[in-house]
A and B are shown apart, each in its own frame.
Chain A
Amino acid sequence: MQRTKQTGINEKIMQTIFFLSALISVAAVIAICLFLFVKGMPAIAEIGFMDFIFNEKWTPTNTPASYGILSMIVGSIYVTGGAIIIGVPIGLMCAIFLAEFCPGKIYMIVKPAVNLLGGIPSIIYGFFGMEVIVPIVRENMGGNGYSIMSASIILGIMILPTIISISESSVRAVPESYAEGSYGIGATKEETVFRVIVPAAKSGILTSIILGIGRAAGETMAVVMVAGNAVMPVDKINLLKPIRTLTANIVTEMSYASGLHESALISTGVVLFVFIIILNISLSLMKSKAQRN
């Protein structure tokens, strides 16, 4: 095969094309940051940063209007926290189940089931939540069902696939020698799993939790149909009372917002965006720390 100058040039051209394709991701992130900030800035400038973040009064349609998102920030935190409390224990146990205790035939049923759970669109979760979870919470726990509790349950279910798949890989990745050592001193299987294997898989499990947090915090449709969308003053927030999250706020009001109102909603999106970036950075920091070990 003869190498010609043309081949060399082709190589260089394609290499550049590949590199440029990779840069498109960077360009996309920069564009998203840029436009969100630019469109959201007017709101922050006029409302004032402190007033925007720490004021719990969100009344854009009153005259005079008030644009404080504190209630929504707290709402998102509660709902995400609730999702973690419900989703992580079950998800982690299920991951351990898949990695350590599950017989092969059953694995072929459960693993695809988990993948399928992860593929279900969020409006179906929302619809399911509205028709099934809300009545259950209403009958068995009180309140009217549209509440932080219902949102946490639905979100907890939604993050199960994330937690399960990543935790399962981490648990499987723990070297056999660890387990063998534990059996060697007479521990039972369960003791080995919980005292040796799981701690060894800690960083992967933590990764899955952080990704789960990101997913729960960013979820919109499911929460909108289940949480009642009431803007609650911070001191009245209650597990069985309705709540509005940052995401629900954007989706509910964007369709008719204009001017400052629209800007304020975009800024709400910016707040979400910044939160995700912070999560991502913690994730990379954790990963590099794990690599160093």
Chain B
Amino acid sequence: MKKNKALSIIALSLALIFAGCVQSKPSGEQKAEFNLGKDITVIARDAASGTRGAFHEIMGILVKEKDAEADKLVVGALEFDGTDKVITAVEGDKYGIGYISMGSVSDRIKAVSVNGIEPDVENVRSGNYSVSRPFILVTKGSESELIKDFLKFAESTQGQDITDEMKFIGASDLSEDYASSGMSGTIKVAGSTSVTPLMEKLQEAYRDLNPDVTFEMQSNGSSQGIKAALEGSYDIGMSSRELKEEEASQLNSYILAIDGIAVIVNKENPKSDLASEDITKIYTGEITKWSEIK
């Protein structure tokens, strides 16, 4: 009996020590040198993502030849279906590179400048920072009074103030104030996960002014939002990429804001600037190691 007790105490303490060791190891390892000869871990968004659609098209990863369209993302690139997952992956992997909405950049990772231009609101507004895409709201056919009212709100000065607060660039031509007329009803919205945070804030503010309105929102990717609007299953679709011709011809579109896409790397990565051709080469697999970048 005593032997068993002793044995189990020893085994238990060993297990706890093991657990403790293993948990502290990840944080300890961070102090090691950044080895430029290591492979780059390429991180992308999932195929539903408007951010991906926009980024891949702007950077030339999506290649169009006549009728054919092919995404040349390098084999073995990680694909994640959420902004935070991309941030977590880059935060944890010294050699990672990823792309996220500029509004989501935090101090967990580092956003590099592209071709020497810093990724900030001013540069996106002026057009210097070229990696940007529009946040578009789409509807189909004639809209109800409620939807028209909400869209007016989004484009009003109050709406644009919210947009600015969230580090997006307001794109509305309207510079009117919005006045509430006590609307009621339900608005169903679906689409881009990147637009969702902005949409949520707009919805909250709109509801403060029109308490009888409810929203229903699914965040399942730009393509799904556009599809939902086309099918009529949702009132408003959110997209974080340009519409394709077939889509644009059937839908009314409103540019809500311009959002920059930030290219992010781990905080320990010595690089703070990347040339856009190099970024393209990294994502298509032509460049595989950090040392290959001049």
Contacts and interface: CB of A to CB of B under 8 A. Distances in A.
B175 to A, nearest CB: 35
A292 B46 CA distance: 52
A59 B75 CA distance: 12
A141 to B, nearest CB: 12
B179 to A, nearest CB: 37
A139 B78 contact: no
A252 interface: yes
A77 interface: no
Nearest to B230: A258
Nearest to A103: B4
Interface stretch (B87-95, B103-111, B125-133): B87-95
Contact of B93 (A63, A106, A144, A232): A144
Which interface residue of A61, A103, A130, A244 has the most chain B CB atoms within 10 A? Answer: A61
B227 A258 contact: yes
Given A144-B41, A256-B227, A139 B85 contact: no
A225 B25 contact: no
A134 B93 CA distance: 10
A255 B220 contact: yes
B26 A256 contact: no
A138 B67 CA distance: 41
Interface string B206-228: 00000000000000111110010
B29 A139 contact: yes
Contact of A256 (B29, B48, B67, B76): B48
B71 A62 contact: yes
B79 A138 contact: no
B226 to A, nearest CB: 9
B92 A230 contact: no
A26 interface: no
A136 B71 contact: no
Interface in A27-86: 59-64
A114 B292 CA distance: 50
B254 interface: no
B6 interface: no
Determine the main DSSP class of B at the interface with A. Answer: mixed
A253 interface: yes
B69 A63 contact: yes
A139 B26 contact: yes
A161 interface: no
Contacts of B88: 130-131
A145 B48 contact: no
B90 to A, nearest CB: 10
B223 A256 contact: yes
A230 B76 contact: yes
Contacts of B85: 130, 225
A269 interface: no
Contacts of B80: 229
Contacts of A134: 92
A228 interface: yes
A131 to B, nearest CB: 8
B109 to A, nearest CB: 15
Nearest to B221: A256
A255 B221 contact: yes
B8 interface: yes
A221 B88 CA distance: 17
B118 interface: no
Nearest to A135: B26
A61 to B, nearest CB: 5
A255 B48 contact: yes
A155 B220 CA distance: 27
B81 interface: yes
A64 B93 CA distance: 34
Contacts of B221: 255-256
B243 interface: no
Interface string A126-161: 000011101110111000111000000000000000
Nearest to B49: A256
Given A62-B69, A256-B221, A256-B223, A229 B79 contact: yes
A229 B80 CA distance: 7
A256 B77 contact: no
Contacts of A233: 75
Q: 3 closest A-B pairs (Cβ-Cβ)?
A: A256-B48, A255-B220, A144-B41
19 contacts: A59-B70, A61-B47, A61-B71, A62-B69, A62-B71, A130-B88, A138-B93, A144-B41, A144-B89, A144-B93, A144-B96, A146-B78, A236-B75, A242-B78, A252-B48, A253-B47, A255-B48, A255-B224, A256-B220
Interface of A: 59-64, 103, 106, 130-132, 134-136, 138-140, 144-146, 224-225, 228-233, 236, 241-242, 244, 252-253, 255-256, 258
Given A136-B25, A139-B29, 18 more contacts: A59-B71, A60-B47, A62-B69, A62-B71, A63-B67, A63-B70, A135-B92, A146-B78, A225-B85, A229-B80, A230-B75, A230-B76, A236-B75, A236-B76, A242-B78, A253-B47, A255-B221, A256-B220
